[in-house]
Structure 1
Amino acid sequence: MHAAAADRSTSAVLGRDFLASIVVFLVALPLCMGVAIASGAPPALGLITGIVGGIIVGSLAGSPLQVSGPAAGMAVLVFQLVQEHGLIMLGVVGLIAGALQLLAGVLKLGQWFRAISPSVIHGMLAGIGVLILVSQLHVMLDDAPRASGLLNIAAIPEAVIKAIPTDGSVHHLAAMAGVITILTIVLWNHFKPKQLSLIPGPLLGVIVGTIFAMVFALPITLVELPDTLAGALNIPTGEALAGFTNPDILTLGLVFAFVASAETLLCATAVDKMHIGARTDYDKELRAQGIGNMICGGLGALPMTGVIVRSAANVEAGATTRFSAIMHGVWLLLAVAAFPFVLNEIPTSVLAAILVYTGYKLVNIAQIRKIAEFGRQELAIYFVTLLGVVLIDLLTGVILGFALATAKLVYTFSHLEITREHDEETNRVDLWMKGSATFFSIPQLGKALESSPVGSEVHIHVEKLDYIDHACLEMLSSWEKLHQTTGGTLVVEWSELVERYGRRSEDPSKTEIPGLMVRPAA
């Protein structure tokens, strides 16, 4: 009886995962091709990455419900690589990035990739979202994206003019298909019936946009997939593999590894919050991503990361094991192998429209409000990262954000505010301390103490102090001894300081902190 119950339970789990895999496949199919187009690569290379991310990485992943594949967050990097070094170098950089991720996982560095300020990560993603939006806006008009984010932004007025119907131009027709796609996604996300809630908006947008183009026989650019996957491979040549010795290529491999790892592990953390099942093994996930990216590199496909859109769809569809992620890769493989002629009917402007919408979603207004709750400094880190990514490049933007976050950390742990009051009648001095009292603060603290009159009773109020280090405690101890020789006293009025650092003295009216005698406040 127990065996029969177990079989029924296993069947139910596999049944839910089977249905979830179809939902994830329907979400992933248009995005795999769209991200490839945004990356300046053939759509087939995005589909290959989706297949590897499902079947291979899904089998090895440390986060069983996370779904991996080509990510919009990497599209800007890939586009720059393709423009500067050619499509053939994509595989070489993928091999380097994958090897670095695998090594990081073996060395158990997974947790360290999470030690990045959320403001930097969200600023990076928002900057990527802006770059994707402004570049794919031109593709949505059957036009070519410009060479940089600034040029794409500068060309937006030109794109608006091209969207106006004129004789001999098809830009406005492509724009119509793209706008209809975006409207379909937005309306579906807002008004979809509960019974059909599992149907993803991007898929419906592709279907409606494609049907619109077919019904009106629009003369716009369509997706081109080869008859077989073998014909789509972009395997690095021997000459390309010599790029392993090129410092620029090695640097790109390092950047790819860092960005892909950070995005993957942040995605895994978000997925953990969505369900109550097994938690992520970050080092195992990093090793799986490394193996997946090395395979994609060997095939010359796009790099992969864990993708939040597909992963969230997987959880919402009721998946409970890695079977759903694996099967979604199988469905992608079958679709490309058996129905390439169907995919070839999709206009590129329709896929670009999905990326325009995705770019907009990456600039998450709700996230900006949440960051603002933590203060202006965090908001500044966010916008410096965003502007750095958009105006300069992704790596520089992240470095600027990280440097500002580090500066904020140093400031927080070195900043001390001291307010002083002196009652001349009682010869009492009160010093209120706020912030962190560290060795950086010793000159400031010493100046405040030394301003106390001879023989005065000095009270230090530290209830608003976040931290006090040993150097400051030693300094207080030394100054107390010196002040006592003038007939003065030092009283630290903070019971919490005693709880943190103190031990009871033989004198019941006093408490000892190593190097310092504290009289509890009356």
Structure 2
Amino acid sequence: MFKTLKNDLPASIVVFFVALPLCLGIALASGAPLFSGLIAGIVGGIVVGSLSGSHIGVSGPAAGLAAIVLTAIGALGGYQNFLLAVVLGGAIQILFGVLKAGIIGYYFPSSVIKGMLTGIGIIIILKQIPHFFGYDADPEGDLAFIQVDGENTFSEIFNAFKYISPGATVVAVLGLGILILWDKVLIKKAKFFQLVQGPLVAVIVGILFYVITKDNAYWGISTDHLVKVPIPEDTASFLAQFSFPNFSVITLPEIWITAFTIALVASLETLLCVEATDKLDPERRVTPTNRELLAQGTGNMISGFIGGLPITQVIVRSSANIQSGAKSKMSAIVHGFFLLISVILIPRLLNMIPLSVLAAILFIVGYKLAKPALFIKMYDLGWKQFVPFTVTVLGIIFTDLLVGIGLGLGVGIVVILIKSYQNSHFLHIQDKSNGFHKIKMTLAEEVTFFNKGAILKELEGLPKDTYLELDVRNTRYLDNDIIEILDDFSYKALERNIHITLISEQGVVENPARFLDYINLNPNTKKVTV
């Protein structure tokens, strides 16, 4: 890991600036203490980053869990009771890892994963527009369409244009200009510009702008538009920000229900993020998913023990990490230490950072995830890829992350069923001479009950006086439902003067009365093989 520190250290700074407002915003949206979001970010970086097998994934508090956390804190009777559910949820995640449940992550179609990345990119841009113009009524990290304040993504943008802050907008435009200049021009000029990242310079410019203009009535940036890290007065007040779980309620069923919900949702979100970040990784490395569940479970147990929010691997921070040139997990670990050290030593300096300049950084992250060229590429791949991709993107924008992915996955399954229906067999009309139709039907390698309708339609549509050649030499699995259709058809064929020839690996059979006699049925598995 230390061999790539020259790449990982600059990337960790960018991830730190992205993670800081998100940790605080997700805690605010969750109805939890602000410090709990920072705890989750620190544990996600240092602990999960160290244990994970992911080279470029970054973990921390997740927006997808905010609604669950908000509801659970009230339903369980307080934050300390909720922390117990987080600890137990982490233990359940470890059990998932031991049981090798991480394999679930490999069953999501590529079109859905690409749709997830694109949808997240678009929603990042849409959610940052109000912050860009200095209108911050909704907390950072609220990625759902319907927001905490009752507005939706688009109505919040329209409201932002009514309350534009000149100072915040100017510093956002300056920051965006610096980032584009750095990325397109300066980084190619000298190694200095590779070591010192543009986002760091943009943040420094933002702090200087705030300090210089804070007493100006027009250009000054309101404190409502700044990062808000809790500032402890002394060591005792700093330690008082940590909370601990209430183990006396461990026997309550609702605690365990919440714990299982956290474990399930956090694991699913993590596995989806792992699949997505692996696709973004320039070196195409593959993350061991079961190890990831073990790392996340350990992180959640520790976070819950000391008062932190639940943790998942998070696509926003992970994509920022990749785009900033990170090469190893050291970037995620160092960003965790930056969070820890900064909230202890320089919270007042952090509270001078305008949110609008951080919005400019996230604009770049969002654009790189949702480049217009990707839509053209997915369209060119055909409707079987484009439709699940588009549904996932729209689902994420107009609902939330998990619902959008669920919609995309559902459409993907429908596409598979349609193609399975279409590809169950091949029909060839070979000859129509002498008043007889000679037709050859070749069955696919696997034919299941999904194909009943297609095969039944073809058989029922055969005209009288037909020679049907049924070729099953390539078929390895034939559902019993299909066998029943063929058996029924063999009786009807006599009435319509249809002559059937069955061609299998065992030989050729003329007018089989019962197809099952020529097919092997495994009594243990009940699978029918030809």
Shorter-chain TM range is 0.7 to 0.9
Sort the Cα spacing of 1:93 and 1:360 in 2 relative to 1 into closer, same or farther, 3 A: farther
- The Cα of 1:52 is off from its aligned counterpart by 1.8
| Amino acid in structure 1 at the alignment position of 2:305 | G
How much does 1:505 deviate? 4.6
How far the C-alpha of 1:32 sits from its partner, in A, is: 1.5
Distance across 2 between alignment mates of 1:420 and 1:150: 59
Out of 427, 448, 456, the residue aligned to residue 458 of structure 2 is: 448
Contact 1:33 1:351 in 2 (8 A): no
- Say if 2:2 is the partner of 1:19: no
- Where does residue 405 of structure 1 map in the other structure? 412
Separation in 1 of the partners of 2:336 and 2:9? 10
Q: Secondary structure at the match of 2:297?
A: helix
Distance 2:238 2:410 in 1: 45
Instruction: Give the Cα–Cα distance (whole angstroms) in 2 for the partners of residues 372 and 240 of structure 1.
Output: 56
1:109 counterpart = 2:101 = yes
TM-fit CA distance, 1:286: 1.1
Q: Which amino acid aligns with 1:309?
A: S
Match of 1:298 in 2: 305
- Report the equivalent of 1:48: 39
Structure 1 residues 407 and 67, CA gap change in structure 2 (3 angstroms): closer
Tell me, yes or no, if structure 1 residue 423 matches structure 2 residue 432. Answer: yes
Contact 1:66/1:271 (8 A) holds in 2 = no
| Map 1:78-97 → 2, pairs under 5 A | 78=66, 81-82=69-70, 88=79, 91=83, 94-95=86-87, 97=89
Q: Write the distance in 1 (CA, Å) between the matches of 2:304 and 2:263.
A: 14
Taking structure 1 as the reference length, what is the TM-score of the superposition? 0.73
Residue 249 of structure 1 deviates from its aligned partner by 4.5
Q: Secondary structure at the match of 2:162?
A: helix
Match of 2:379 among 358, 363, 372: 372
Partner of 2:56: 66
- 1:160 is displaced (CA, Å) by 1.7
Letter in 2 for 1:58: G
1:121 and 1:247 map into 2 onto residues whose CA distance is 31
Contact 1:389 1:396 in 2 (8 A): yes
Question: Helix, strand or coil: the match of 1:305?
Answer: strand
> 1:424 Cα shift?
5.1
- Counterpart of 2:159 in structure 1 is 158
How far the C-alpha of 1:29 sits from its partner, in A, is 1.5
Give the corresponding residue for 2:270: 261
Give the whole-Å Cα distance in 1 for the aligned partners of 2:292 and 2:13: 24
Q: Are positions 1:235 and 2:232 aligned together?
A: no
Please point out which of 207, 211, 228 is paired with 2:208.
Answer: 211
Q: Distance in 2 between matches of 1:38 and 1:399?
A: 25
In structure 2, what is the equivalent of residue 8 of structure 1?
none
- Partners of 2:8 and 2:129 in 1: how far apart? 31
C-alpha distance in 1, partners of 2:417/2:240?
50
Query: Cα–Cα, structure 1 residues 426 and 394, in superposed 2: closer, same or farther, change >3 Å?
Result: same
Structure 1, gaps ≥5 residues long = 1-12, 164-170, 493-497, 508-512, 518-522
Consecutive unaligned residues in structure 2, runs of 5 or more: 139-146, 215-219, 510-514, 520-530
After superposition, the Cα gap between the structure-2 partners of 1:343 and 1:84, relative to the gap in structure 1 and judged at 3 Å, is same
After superposition, the C-alpha distances for 1:340-382 in whole angstroms (9 at most, x for unaligned) are 3432321233224434444454445444444434432443333
* Structure 1, 109-118 or 229-238: larger mean CA deviation: 229-238
Does the CA-based 8 Å contact 2:179-2:202 persist in structure 1? yes
Alpha-carbon RMSD: 4.5
1:28 to 15, 35, 39: 15
Match of 1:457 in 2: 467
Alignment of 1:320-359 (within 5 A): 325-359=332-366
Q: Partner letter of residue 235 of structure 1?
A: S
- In the alignment, is residue 57 of structure 1 matched against residue 45 of structure 2? no
Aligned to 1:190: 184
After superposition, what is the alpha-carbon deviation per residue over 1:429-448, rounded to whole angstroms, capped at 9, x for unaligned?
33677987533434543453
Q: C-alpha distance in 2, partners of 1:204/1:381?
A: 40
Q: Is the 8 A contact 1:88 1:240 kept in 2?
A: no
- Give the % identical residues: 27
1:482-501 to 2 correspondence within 5 Å?
489-490=499-500
Residue 177 of structure 1 corresponds to which residue in structure 2? Answer: 171
Cα shift readout 1:231-262 (whole Å, capped 9, x = no counterpart): 58452564997897269855752564144322
CA contact (8 A) 2:131 2:359 kept: yes
Q: Deviation of residue 110 (structure 1)?
A: 0.7
Alpha carbons of structure 1 residues 338 and 443: separation in structure 2 relative to 1, 3 Å: closer
Q: Which shifted more, 465-474 or 354-363?
A: 465-474
Closer, same or farther in 2 for the Cα pair 1:246/1:359, shift >3 Å?
farther
What amino acid does structure 2 have at the position aligned with 1:162? Y
- The one-letter amino acid of 1:212's match is F
CA contact (8 A) 1:127 1:363 kept: yes
Q: TM-score, normalised by structure 2?
A: 0.72
Q: Distance in 1 between matches of 2:428 and 2:249?
A: 67
**Residues 133 and 356 of structure 1 are in contact (CA less than 8 Å); yes or no, is this contact kept in structure 2?**
yes
| Distance (whole Å) between structure 2 residues aligned to residue 287 and residue 449 of structure 1 | 53
In the alignment, the residues of structure 2 paired with residue 487 and residue 516 of structure 1 have an alpha-carbon distance, to the nearest angstrom, of 22
Deviation, 1:284, is: 1.4
The answer for the alignment partner of 1:168 in structure 2 is none
Q: Is the 8 A contact 2:40 2:60 kept in 1?
A: yes
For the Cα contact (< 8 Å) 1:101–1:289, is it kept in 2? yes
Letter matched to residue 408 of structure 2:
G
8 Å CA contact 2:175, 2:205 repeated in 1: yes
CA distance in 1, matches of 2:67, 2:23: 9
Residues 84 and 255 in structure 2, CA contact (< 8 A), matched pair in contact too: no
The 1-side partners of 2:73 and 2:117 are apart by 24
> Shift of residue 111 of structure 1?
1.1
Tell me, in whole angstroms, the C-alpha distance in 2 between the residues paired with 1:412 and 1:351. 45
- Native 8 Å contact 2:84 2:245 kept in 1: no
CA contact (8 A) 1:69 1:305 kept: yes
Alignment check: 8 A CA contact 1:210 1:350 kept: no
Match of 2:478 in 1: 469
* 8 A Cα contact 1:372 1:379, kept in partner: yes
* 1:439 aligned residue: 449
